[in-house]
Amino acid sequence: MVDAHATAHSRRIAAEDGVIAALGIRVDRAEPGYAAVRMTVRRDMVNGAGVTHGGMVFALADTAIALASNDTAEAALVAGADVVFLASSAEGDELVAIAEVRAVSGRTGVYDARVEESGRVIAEIRGRVRRPRESP
């Protein structure tokens, strides 16, 4: 991860995440409450219909939410999400996911992510994040 704006914790998460490496996800920005990541769709990421597999689109958004929500020393985890696919993408497209915090109450956070390709919205995701229990 080469991002001067990333927190030390998000840098460590990205560096140690095998999924980020395997999917070729690149981090544009990661800071408390906000993250932007990108991925070029490869042949092995498209389904039999020739469009980007929904799981790949979600994995990109999930990565953005994870980086935006991990601003403490202990890992916050996505506990659930709702995905709306609005358009398709294909091999060679560069997808960008932007995640932003919407609300945090106690240990629960709500984050919205948008996945785009050349300014066209591919998917909207609302993720629920569970933060670790605070130390006594």
User: For the purposes of burial, counting CB atoms within 10 Å of the CB of 135, is it exposed (0-12), middle (13-18) or buried (19 or more)?
Assistant: exposed
pLDDT, average across residues 58-62: 98
- pTM for this entry: 0.90
- Compare 77 and 98 and report the one with higher pLDDT: 98
DSSP H helical segments within the chain, as ranges? 8-16, 18-23, 54-69
> Amino acid identity, residue 47?
N
Residue 95 has pLDDT above 50, yes or no: yes
Is the domain spanning 8-130 CATH 3.40.50.2300? The answer is: no
Count, residues in the chain? 136
Q: Which helix (H) or strand (E) holds 22?
A: helix 18-23
CA-closest candidate to residue 95, choices 41, 55, 51: 41
| Mean pLDDT, rounded, of the chain | 90
For residue range 12-37, what is the model confidence (pLDDT) as tens digits? Answer: 777 888 999 999 999 999 999 999 99
